Chain A
C-alpha cells in the first residue's frame, strides 16, 4: 500500500477541527481512524497492479549515437480499471529520458507505452523492472507492484569515420582498374589483354599477343584480390586509456570498421580478433555483405580489461587464424612498458611471416603537456611529457626496425590513416 501527498494534506487539514473542536484522545483517535479507513478503502478500490501482463516490442539493435524505441504493451487482466503511474526503468546509460508514464487502462484493454533510448555506451542494454503504482478513486492511496519484463537492445559501436569511406572507395576503384587509368605498378596480378589506345604506357604492350592479333595489345594489371587481412584489437589495460572523447579501444574499433569495410569492398577476406589474455571477440570469414554487421555485433560488448596482454597467446591466436601470408593489423598502444614486456619480442617473427601494421591511438594531451610553459609545475609537466614522447619515439623506431609499419595518430586521424596505409600496401602489391 502506498499513500499520496493528498493523504498527507488531508491529515494536515484535519488539524483545524482536531484543535478547535475535538480536543480529546477519543476524538483524535476517531478522526485518524476514519482517515486510515478512508486510505485503506481507497487502496483496496484501486485496480490491482499485479493483474497486469506485459509484452515488449521494438528495436533489438541500434548504433551508438542513434535512437531505439522499445514499446511496452500493458494489458489489464483484472476486474478494475488501473489508473496511476508506470515506471519503465532502464539502466542509466541506456539514455531513457522519460521513464515515468501516466497509466490508465480499463479491464481487458491494452495500452502502449514507448521508451526512447539514446544509449551513451555500446553493449547490451537491458531494462530493469516495470513498476506500476495504481491509485484509488480518491487518489489518496494505492497499491504498487513490480514486474520483470525482459528485453535487450544491443548497442553497436559508433562508426564516426564512415564519412571517410566514399573517398577511400574511390581511390580503391582507381587501383582496381574500373577507372581507365591502367599503369603498371598499380597491382601485380595479371588481369586481361585489351587493345592499345592512345595514352597507354608503351611498356605494357604485350608483343606476343600483338603478333597474334591484328592490333597492338596491352596487358592490364589489377591489384591482388582474396588476400587475407587480420585485424587484432588489443583490449588490455592500455586500451582503457581515455583519449579525447572516448577510450583508446573506441577509436581502435572505429579504425577497424573503416579498414574492414574498405578491405571487404576490395575483395579481401577480413577476420577480426579482440584479445587480451583470452579471445574477447572473434569474427571469422564473414560474407562480404555481412562483414560490418558481424564486426559491430562482435565488438558491441567488448570492454577494456585492466589486465596485461598475454602476447604469447595473442601471437599463437594470430598464427592459428592465418597460416599463409596475410596483412596483420595490430591495434594496440605504443606504451613502452607494455610493449617491451609484451609484443615486442614476438614482432620480428610475426613480421617475417606476414605484413604487419601496428596502429596506435595517440593522446594529443601529451603534446599539449609538452608545450606547457609558465610556472614551475607546468614546466615539470612539460619535462615529464617530453620524456614520455622521447620513449614513445624510441619505441616507434624499435618497432619500425623490426620490419613493421607503425601508425601513431590521434583518434580522429587513426581510421583514415590506417585506410590509406592499407591502400598504399595494396597498390605496392605487398598484401
Chain B
C-alpha cells in the first residue's frame, strides 16, 4: 500500500516476516536444537542412574560404598539402605537383631533419635559419629584428634575382628574410652563395647570413615575390618541420615521460613523493581529500525596459496624441495648479475662466481648444486643464510 501525498514521496508500510515464515526459515536450526535437547536429556538420564554420594551403599563413585555393600551381600547379609529415621525404625521392628550402621552424612535430630531409640538393635556401628549421636549411643567414647599417621599400626586389642584384620593405616578420627572394659584398637581408631554394656546389643565406634569407601576398601586391612564390623548379623540397616528427613523437625513444630525472617516491605519493593526491569527490557529491546544488511564482495589474500604451500613443506619436512627452490632463485639472480645467459648451467655459474669472489669451486658448488639436502630445519636456515652471503659477495666483491 502506498499513498502519494502532496507530491512528496510515498508512505510505504513495512512489515517484517510473520512467525510462520520465521519458523520456516529457521527450520534447520530448530531441528538441531531439538536434537541437542533430546541428547542432553538422554545423557542426563543415563548419568542419573549412576549414583554418587558419600558412604552410600548404592554409589559407585570414589567416596561411595557400593563395593562394600556388594561384598556383604555376597556373604549373605541383607543390606537395607535407609535415609529416614522412620524407615530405620520400621526395618528394626521387622528384623530386631539387625546391625544398624549410622553414617555421618547429615545431622541427626532429637526426634529422629527418639524414633529409633526404642527399637531393639542387635549391634550398632557408628562411623565418625557427631557428638550428639555419640552421646546417645556411646557416651563412653570421647572424640580425640584427627589421625594422620602414615605407618600401619597393629591392632593391639583383644577384639576378634581386629586381630583378623591385622595392622592397618589409621586415617580418620581416634577416640578415647572413658569406661573400663571397652576395647580400643589401632590406637583408638576403633572402639568396641564388647559385652560390657548391660543394655541391648554392643556398640562399635569406627573413626576410619575412608575404610568404607570404594576407593580405599581394597587397601590396607580395611576390607577385613569393615566386613567384620558390619557382618555380625544377617541383616544390616544402613542409615544415611539426611537433612531432608521429615523428622528433622519434631512433629507439630514448624521451621521458620525465609518469609518470616525478612521484613514485609522487601517483597513489595522487589515486585515493583521487577516491573521497572520489565520496562527497561521494553525500552532497550525495541530497535530504532531494522538491522541493515549488505552483501560484500569477495576478497582473497593474494599470497594465501604461497603461505599454504610453505606450511605444507614444513609439515612434510620437504627440506629438499625448499632448498632447491632457494638455490634456483639464487642461481637465477646470479645469472643476471654475472651477465650469463639464462641457459647457463650450474657449472658455468659456479666458475663465474669463483673468479668473482675468490672462493673455491667446490665450496660454491656444494652450496649451489642440488643433492646435498639439509637434514633438519637448522640446516635449511643455514643454507638460506649461506646463499644470501654468497649473493652479497658477488654483488660487492
Contacting pair A22 B268 (CB below 8 A): yes
Residues on A with C-beta less than 8 A from B297 are 121, 240, 247, 303-304
Q: What's the nearest-Cβ distance from chain A to residue B276, in Å? A: 4
Does chain B have a CB within 8 A of A366? yes
Chain A 363-416 interface residues, beta-carbon cutoff 8 Å to B: 363, 365-366, 369-370, 373-377, 379-390, 393
* Interface 9-mer from A142-150, A183-191, A207-215, A253-261: A142-150
Contacting pair B310 A129 (CB below 8 A): no
Digit string of A80-95 for contact with B (CB within 8 Å is 1, else 0)? Answer: 0000010101111100
Does chain A have a CB within 8 A of B149? no
**How long is the Cα–Cα vector from A227 to B2 in the complex, in angstroms?**
53
Contact of A53 among B9, B306, B325 (CB under 8 A): B9
Does chain B have a CB within 8 A of A77? yes
Does chain A have a CB within 8 A of B31? no
Contact of B289 among A3, A89, A369, A384 (CB under 8 A): A89
Does chain A have a CB within 8 A of B344? no
Contacting pair A365 B303 (CB below 8 A): yes
**How long is the Cα–Cα vector from A386 to B377 in the complex, in angstroms?**
17
Q: What's the nearest-Cβ distance from chain B to residue A140, in Å? A: 10
Residue of A nearest to B277 (CB): A8
Residues on A with C-beta less than 8 A from B313 are 380, 383-384
Contacting pair A380 B329 (CB below 8 A): no
Contacting pair A15 B325 (CB below 8 A): no
Contacting pair B328 A390 (CB below 8 A): yes
Digit string of B291-331 for contact with A (CB within 8 Å is 1, else 0)? Answer: 01010111111110111011101100000011101101100
Contacting pair A128 B290 (CB below 8 A): yes
Q: What's the nearest-Cβ distance from chain A to residue B314, in Å? A: 5
Residues on B with C-beta less than 8 A from A170 are none
Contact of A11 among B266, B279, B380 (CB under 8 A): B279
**How long is the Cα–Cα vector from A28 to B264 in the complex, in angstroms?**
14
Contacting pair A19 B272 (CB below 8 A): yes
Contact of B299 among A23, A93, A240, A374 (CB under 8 A): A240
Residues on B with C-beta less than 8 A from A14 are 272, 276
Digit string of B251-280 for contact with A (CB within 8 Å is 1, else 0)? Answer: 000000000000011101101110111011
Contacting pair A384 B269 (CB below 8 A): no
Chain B 370-394 interface residues, beta-carbon cutoff 8 Å to A: 377-378, 380-381, 384-385, 388
**How long is the Cα–Cα vector from A22 to B299 in the complex, in angstroms?**
64
Contacting pair A129 B298 (CB below 8 A): no
Q: What's the nearest-Cβ distance from chain B to residue A124, in Å? A: 11
Does chain A have a CB within 8 A of B14? yes
Does chain B have a CB within 8 A of A196? no
Given contacts A89-B289, A89-B292, contact A28 B268 (CB under 8 A): yes
Does chain B have a CB within 8 A of A425? no
Does chain B have a CB within 8 A of A248? yes
Contacting pair A11 B276 (CB below 8 A): yes
Contacting pair B329 A389 (CB below 8 A): yes
**How long is the Cα–Cα vector from A376 to B321 in the complex, in angstroms?**
14
Given contacts A18-B269, A388-B306, contact A7 B332 (CB under 8 A): no
Does chain A have a CB within 8 A of B20? no
Residue of A nearest to B376 (CB): A376
Residues on A with C-beta less than 8 A from B10 are 53, 147-149
**How long is the Cα–Cα vector from A388 to B328 in the complex, in angstroms?**
12
Contacting pair A55 B9 (CB below 8 A): yes
Chain A 56-77 interface residues, beta-carbon cutoff 8 Å to B: 56, 73, 75, 77
Contacting pair B380 A376 (CB below 8 A): yes
Does chain A have a CB within 8 A of B396? no
Residues on A with C-beta less than 8 A from B282 are 2-3, 7-8
Contacting pair A393 B271 (CB below 8 A): no
Residue of B nearest to A370 (CB): B329
Residues on B with C-beta less than 8 A from A379 are 322, 326, 377, 380-381, 384
Residues on B with C-beta less than 8 A from A382 are 326, 384
Residues on A with C-beta less than 8 A from B303 are 363, 365-366, 369, 385
Contact of B325 among A128, A243, A386 (CB under 8 A): A386
Residues on A with C-beta less than 8 A from B326 are 379, 382-383, 386
Does chain A have a CB within 8 A of B180? no
Does chain B have a CB within 8 A of A316? no
Interface size grouping (class) on chain A: 35 or more
Contacting pair B325 A146 (CB below 8 A): no
Contacting pair B309 A11 (CB below 8 A): no
Residue of B nearest to A146 (CB): B14
Residues on B with C-beta less than 8 A from A237 are 300
Contacting pair B268 A23 (CB below 8 A): yes
Digit string of A320-345 for contact with B (CB within 8 Å is 1, else 0)? Answer: 00000000000000000000000000
Does chain A have a CB within 8 A of B43? no
Contacting pair B273 A12 (CB below 8 A): yes
Contacting pair B269 A19 (CB below 8 A): yes
Residues on A with C-beta less than 8 A from B290 are 89, 128-129, 146
**How long is the Cα–Cα vector from A389 to B314 in the complex, in angstroms?**
19
Residues on B with C-beta less than 8 A from A389 are 329
Chain A 1-56 interface residues, beta-carbon cutoff 8 Å to B: 2-5, 7-9, 11-12, 14-15, 18-20, 22-23, 28, 31-32, 50, 52-56
Contacting pair A28 B307 (CB below 8 A): no
Given contacts A15-B276, A380-B314, A386-B328, contact A73 B8 (CB under 8 A): yes
Q: What's the nearest-Cβ distance from chain B to residue A56, in Å? A: 8
Residue of B nearest to A237 (CB): B300
**How long is the Cα–Cα vector from A81 to B321 in the complex, in angstroms?**
77
Residues on B with C-beta less than 8 A from A294 are none
Residues on B with C-beta less than 8 A from A385 are 303, 306, 310
**How long is the Cα–Cα vector from A113 to B49 in the complex, in angstroms?**
67
Does chain B have a CB within 8 A of A131? yes
Does chain A have a CB within 8 A of B6? yes
Contact of B276 among A12, A93, A248, A376 (CB under 8 A): A12
Contacting pair A243 B328 (CB below 8 A): no
Residues on A with C-beta less than 8 A from B6 are 53, 75, 77
Contacting pair B271 A242 (CB below 8 A): no
Question: Can you list 23 pairs linking A and B with CB atoms under 8 Å apart?
Answer: A7-B282, A19-B265, A23-B264, A32-B272, A32-B275, A53-B8, A53-B10, A55-B8, A55-B9, A77-B6, A91-B294, A128-B292, A133-B288, A144-B286, A148-B10, A148-B12, A240-B299, A243-B302, A373-B381, A375-B381, A383-B321, A383-B323, A384-B313
Q: A52-B11, A383-B326 are in contact. List 19 more A-B contacts (CB 8 A).
A: A4-B283, A8-B279, A53-B5, A90-B292, A91-B294, A92-B292, A129-B14, A131-B289, A147-B12, A243-B302, A304-B297, A363-B303, A376-B377, A379-B377, A379-B380, A383-B384, A384-B310, A385-B310, A389-B329
Q: Which 3 residue pairs are nearest across A and B when measured between Cβ atoms?
A: A131-B289, A376-B377, A383-B322
